[in-house]
Amino acid sequence: MAVRGRWWKRPVSVFRGRGAAAVVVAALLLAGSGRARTAGAEDLRLSEFLAGPARDWTGDGVTDARGDEWIEVVNTGAAPLELAAFRLADADSTIRFAFSGTLLPGAYLLVTGQQAVDWQRSQGRSATGLSLNNAGDTVRLFRVSEVDTVQIDAKVYNSIEGASDRSAGRLDPALDSWSLYDALNPYNGAGEPKGTGCPPTPGVPNGCTTGTRRTTWGVIKDLYR
């Protein structure tokens, strides 16, 4: 069964967390129907990330500064994407995670720090996770081929975006305009970006689903039950 633009249980790999957040994290990566193709640079895009977790974002019952970081990507194309060629990295271009499987058109995929740790251990690498610096860093998305490695998307962020339980994301995956989702840790300072009062939206399209009112973590978890 193909699912377009929605999250669905993912049979390709096992996510260890439990609970509502685990359902979101365990979504979107499907074998799909029809023939998958390797994406062009414009198809797979960074969508949202959270660098400073202060809550249990994976739903495994433990709050972990390394394991609960997350990065979200989206397939902006019109066909399923084969993800084996894509990698996540940070400012120093160290590869932190290698994708696998297939992502359907319009679907979102969440990668957590714990998933990055598990992949690194499987490759015999140091278990550093996504290594997103709260004081500011760069999230990089690479496409690897036999002859070269190409950066197809990147986001440089600052300490405002990297603060506890704030995420930064694109309202439109095709544009380079990013918003701050700070409902869990409101930002009222004079710096940029300004706070929106919206909650982070791991695994689903970005934006305020219920306006810009302040919310709680319990309310957010209820969205994914």
> Which pLDDT tens digit goes with each residue over 96-108?
999 999 999 999 9
Structural domain contains residue 152: yes
pLDDT value of position 215? 45
Structural domain contains residue 12: no
- How far, in Å, CA of 90 to CA of 170, rounded? 18
Structural domain contains residue 9: no
Structural domain contains residue 6: no
Structural domain contains residue 116: yes
pLDDT value of position 32? 33
pLDDT value of position 66? 96
- Counting the structural domains of the chain, the total is 1
* Residue 71 structural domain: 20-222
Confidence of residue 147 (pLDDT cuts 50, 70, 90): confident
User: H helices within the chain, ranges in order?
Assistant: 20-25, 113-122, 217-222
pLDDT value of position 209? 61
Structural domain contains residue 175: yes
Structural domain contains residue 4: no
pLDDT at 30 over 60: no
Confidence of residue 174 (pLDDT cuts 50, 70, 90): confident
Cis peptide before 193 (omega within 30 of 0): yes
